[in-house]
Structure 1
Amino acid sequence: MSNLERPATLSVCGGRGFVAAEPVRELLSPRRVKLGESTEVRRLLPNLGRRMVGAWAFVDHYGPDDIADEPGMQVPPHPHMGLQTVSWLHEGEVLHRDSLGSLQTVRPRELGLMTSGRAISHSEESPRPHARLLHGAQLWVALPDGHRNVEPRFEHHSALPTVIAPGLTATVILGELDGSSSPGTTYSPLVGADLALSAGAAAALPLEPDFEYAVLAMSGEASADGVPLEPGSMLYLGCGRTELPLRARSDAGLMLLGGEPFEEEIVMWWNFVGRSHEEIAQARSDWMSGTRFGEVHGYDGGRLPAPELPPVPLKPRGRVR
């Protein structure tokens, strides 16, 4: 999914200097952002106080939205570099097209994983006809320096491993959780999992003490480490944990995001992740001139133009403001 904000703002992320080395409970509130004409998202990362969780650098939560009489998601062709996009749905469908020629409908609890590498472009839209409700999350993973220029690729995985406990089903989206590994390609130690909790459930999820973690609340009434979570909020948990206590007052959906703290400082602007102003400026120029990022065929509409660069050079400065 694109960052459709205009003008685009700079996010400077990465480095270990601001990672909470011990367990914390830092509740992050979303910022509401309009995507196109009919979709509004709640942006959790980058956040005013927290820009990354491991390699996870961007988190949007949207819905559930009633789109029965609306076009639904309509994100025109746009570019990406230096990152992976993760499409995750609880309700509805998203039709993915990209400059590699991929055409795939992503459905609930299926993984749509796009590795941009050096350059790719794609579009996302609600199919026609489409389901009444649309509810999901769109996330980005920053690629480490040694892999950020890999060849672009798209993966679709309809069958994902699960971890089962009384009242809890955890679907492993990316990485590894409690010995179960996702088939999705990763380039740094991380985990992403969808947690479905039954009403009255009380469970403890095993964690890696060297990872930093956050929990995104998708739906229902639940708490993580004793902190009640409203849908659309995210709780940053820091490092040093071996387990995460979870409780649910109603049927609830959460997402667990974690990974080794990302050592490199990055520059994230619009839909690009780079390391310098010059790299970002070249990517913008390449997109506007129609080179490098390829062409998306079949989308009914034009490409998304890039916003103007800010008047001052883009510089990486760290994980928090």
Structure 2
Amino acid sequence: MHYVDSKTILSPKNGMNLYRGCTHGCIYCDSRSKIYNMNHKFEDIEVKGNSLELLKKELIRRTPAMIGTGSMTDPYIPLEKRLKYIRKSLELIYRYGFGFTCITKSDLVLRDLDLLKKINEKTRVVIQMTLTTADDDLCGILEPNVCPTSRRVEVLKTLKEEGIPTIVWLCPILPYINDTEDNINSILDYCIYAGVKGIFCFEMGLTLREGNREYFYQKLDEHFPDLKERYVEEFGDDYSVPSPNNAKLMSIFKKRTAENGILNNFGDVFEFLTDFPQKSVQSKLI
């Protein structure tokens, strides 16, 4: 890890990244792409050393809304156990009347359950969890340095029981690896069991571009012999890598989520995710 000073910590839409880089080791991670201009080794976590000071200043200036994190780097990487930047951020978010949402694959989020419940009582919290495969052994290959799917599902269930709504990202679905009816049905079974509110699933497939493509292909060679050659032949350098089973799998996804009252339309899920109680805004302005 290494420290840097940042000029800002919140984006115009209240996105926050305290860390850059990740040690979860997910073989498909788009954040490795060169387009993001990460000028350090991906596993050498860049820590924004002045982020908490910046966050306090920006929260004071802004109108309360949902603060989001995790789109580029999982906020609950192992380093967070020691540094506690996310936990300290949650304390500020609670103090200044904002809401919170994050995308994670880690059960470390439960460490902060006390704060998440306090924020949710005052404003709003939504926790988002990525699920790619129902097979824990396969999960150990695709996402080697983070808790397995079965544990994530128990985290989702615990959050639901504590009154915190949850969203699942059902992606990426890798052609010829986890793009099976059994896998999608099993993940949906998990989501129904855990009582998730909605699921983000754009299409069945993944994206590859310079930076993450090379790493992904290296891991295919390690774990799925000869599959790289099939990818190269079928997809070349395409950014979009769709599953040949996309139509059938998306039909299953739409049908089962609708039957179980789970939001499945991007617009509906995003609206639920970003909705912020206006009474909290008014209370801060009074």
TM-score, normalized by the shorter chain, greater than 0.5: no
Q: Which is strand-richer, 1 or 2?
A: 1
Classify the TM-score, shorter chain. 0.3 to 0.5
TM-score (norm 1): 0.32
